[in-house]
Structure formats: C-alpha cells, structure tokens
Amino acid sequence: DFMEIQALQKQVDLWIQEHGVRYFNELTNMAILTEEVGEVARIIARRYGEQSEKESDKTKDLGEELADVLFVIQLGGSKSISNRLLILNALFENKITLKNLSDAEDTDLLKQALETDNEVVDIHHAGTAMRFLTSYLSLLKKEKILTGSERMKQRPIGILVDALRSMGISIDYLENQGFPPLKIHPSSFKTNKVQMQADTSSQYLTSLMLIGAKLPEGLELELIGTITSLPYLEMTLTMLNELGIEAKREGNLITILPKKECNSQNFTIESDWSSASYLYSLAALSENCRIEVSYLFEKSLQGDRRVADIYRENFGVETDFRKEKIVLTKIPNFTYPKKIELNLNDCPDVAQTIAVTAAALRIPTLLTGLHTLKIKETDRITALHNELKKCGVETLPTQDSLELISFTSPSSRPSIDTYNDHRMAMAFTPLALFYPIEIKNEQ
C-alpha cells in the first residue's frame, strides 16, 4: 500500500545518501553510457550528490523523473520507412547507416532477400517485400523467381508487372495470371516513362519510385485519376530528397532524376505509428493511464501519425509531444461522440485498431476509404466483420468501408482468428481490458 511504498522509498533514499552517491557521480563522468543509465545517473547525482540543483529541479518529484527515463516503451522503427531504406541502401551499395531499423518480420524477410544470391527468393507473407522486390530485381539483369506463401499467391501483382513490362522488362507468371510467383528475366529498361492508375496501392507506385534514380534517364511516373494514399507517396519523395536524390511531384506527375552514387550518411528511423496505435487503443480503453513511447515525432513522414488526432478527437486520448518521445494520457471528463465517421484513405493500416476501440466503447462508427484492405495480408474488411461478430458487434462491410451498427455483450469468451495477419492479433488484444478473450495463432 501507500505507506509501504513510502517506507521503501525512504530506504532507497538512505542507501543512496550513504553509499550510492559517489557511484552516480562517477557514472555521470563516464565517457560511454546508455542514454537511460546516463540520465538516471544525472538525476540521482543532482538530487543527492555534489552537482548543483536548480531551483526548478527541487520541486520535481523524484519518482516521476525516474519513471520518465526508465519506463518508456521502445517501439521498433517504422516498417514503411525501414523497407524503403533497405531497398535504397541496396541500390547505393550500402552507403546508409540505419539506426532503429524495424524489427518486423516483413523487414527481416526483405533484408534476407536483398542479401541472398539464390535464384529463388521466397518472401513468405511479406506483401511489401513482394512489391518492392519486383521492381528491384528487374534492375539486376539476372534470372530470378519471386514467390511467397499461399496467401501471397492470392494477392494481385499484375498492375506493377504491366507497368514494368511497358518499360521493357520481361516477366512471366509461373502459376496464375496477375499473381505471384513471378519469373523475372534478364532485361533492360527501354523507357523511363510509365503511366499507372492513381488509385492503385501506393506500394506499386513506391516500388517504381525507389528504383527511379537508378534508371539511365530517371523516372517519369504519370498518375491517372485521383491520387489515394498520398502520404505514402510523399514519404517516399521526402526520403529520396533527404538522401540527395532529386524527386518531385507536380500534380499527377512524379519525376525522379538519375543518380549514380549516394554519399555515406546516417539515418535514424522514426518508430512505427501504426504499432503505436495499439497503445492508443489501450489508453482509450483504460480508466486512467500514462504511456510513454520513444522516437515518435509530431512532424512525421508517416500517414499513420494521424492516429494521434483521431484518438484525441474521438476517444479522449491526449498526446504530449516531447523530445524524441510522446506521452499518452486520458482527457478528464471526455464526452464521446454519438457517432464516428472517418475516411482512412491516407492511413488504412490503423483501421482495425480504430474499429476495435470503437466497438469496445460501443460507439457507432463508419470507416471509409478502405479499398486497399481487401488485398492486405488478409481481406481485412471481411476479417473484421467476422471477428467483431464474435464480440457481439453487428457490422456492415462493403468493398471499401465498414460500419459498426449495434453492440451486445459476447455470450462466451471470444476466440479471435488472426488470418496470419499481425494487425488482427494486435488490434483485438486491448479488448482484454474489458473481458477475457483468446487470440489464436498469436505468434
């Protein structure tokens, strides 16, 4: 209880004053420290040691100061940024030193594929790797077979293959037309100009943009129609510019100039906002919380940064942006909306998280702009419909939307199928704050 905690704190204080101060003073003077140990050492030495303490520091609570350092969730780097950088690094002879690389399986599979000399490249469930590698392998002038899991063989790739064929690349389908596996033959790009539908998956477009600077005359990519998933295209353009590659978008025309070499440089990868969305869901469903997450920035390359605004406006979760981290807290006496309507065209990867949060709080919700969810690791719209039903939620799914209509309590413990899709497992897990659930195949 509180009295016991106070007693323990007093014991810690006495030990530090009698024995520990000199060690903390020495730690602050060491040349090599982890960021966390160094900051703890400075706080303790300032409070109890010989270092001077500012008047403003004397009012700070020691426990809160230490918690700010020690209890920060370390998320892996953004998968979207990491995967783009892995392709670019391979194209430019690994001149980029990457910090905070994503630890996601998709990123690991892409890294392995880029390092192998095997003729057959198997990327299992990694959809991003399939799309990015299709263009990358087309540059190598080697015969390659690109394949994946049974689910991957059901995910279309024809739009990208058609674009590459129109530019002179020879690619065959080994099983079903328009789907992996692919056989990429040694061939050369005959033109730098290509047209693609603007409402197609941004990963098809990004796949070509990433190799654009390595084409003899660069790349001119004309987008036909209304652009969707614009934040992902802007992310790619910004990254290219940061690496010294001239790339720009004027209306529906993307132009990337050729570049033979890239200067050696360091790149710190921001943490993944879509991964952070599950922590936002936990915050929204908790009675009270304080969650700190590292390497997330207010000015972000990621479209999923929008999750901070969505959860503040609809679920009462406040985001405090600090140096290299965020702090999540609940807004006191928050009034929930009677209905939520969101177009997630620019951040579809957080749709599952938002749907489950709204379902738990029993807020009628209409999510639109979800057309790309049909071709993800699973048909995510259908998967959400099936699994929310187990939780007592009636939904209306379409090809590009999902509406949460009515809510009842589940009659038994829901057993959630994950469909080999990590976002299904992660999105439904916060429901455990409300009632027991089972996540199947959680690994």
Q: What is the pLDDT of residue 287?
A: 87
- What is the CATH number assigned to the segment(s) 5-73? 1.10.287.1080
Please give the helix or strand (H or E) that residue 405 lies within, else none.
strand 401-407
Q: What is the pLDDT of residue 34?
A: 45
Chain Cα centroid distance, residue 346:
13
Q: What is the pLDDT of residue 33?
A: 40
Q: What is the pLDDT of residue 422?
A: 85
Q: Are 325 and 348 in contact, with CB atoms under 8 Å apart?
A: no
User: 270, 265, 231, 222: which is closest to 245 by C-alpha?
Assistant: 265
- What is the CATH number assigned to the segment(s) 273-440? 3.65.10.10
Query: Whole-angstrom Cα distance, residue 402 to residue 400?
Result: 7
Which residue stretches of the chain have pLDDT < 50?
A: 19-38, 50-51, 69-70
User: 344, 342, 266, 328: which is closest to 296 by C-alpha?
Assistant: 328
Report which residue type is found at 287.
E
CATH 1.10.287.1080 residue spans of the chain? 5-73
Q: What is the pLDDT of residue 208?
A: 97
Q: Are strands 96-99 and 265-268 parallel, antiparallel or unpaired?
A: parallel
436-442, Cβ contacts within 8 angstroms, sequence gap of 24 or more:
437/391, 437/413, 438/413, 438/414, 440/415, 440/416, 441/417, 442/418
Active site (catalytic) residues: 349
253-264 pLDDT, tens digit per residue, is 999 999 988 888
Q: How many CB atoms lie within 10 A of CB 189?
A: 18
Q: What is the pLDDT of residue 264?
A: 85
Contacts of 331 (CB under 8 A, 6+ apart): 312, 316, 317, 318
Per DSSP (E only), the strands in 203-289 are 219-224, 247-250, 253-256, 265-268
Q: Whole-model pTM above 0.85?
A: no
* CATH fold for the domain made of 79-267: UDP-n-acetylglucosamine1-carboxyvinyl-transferase; Chain (3.65.10)
Chain Cα centroid distance, residue 128:
12
CATH 3.65.10.10 residue spans of the chain? 79-267, 273-440
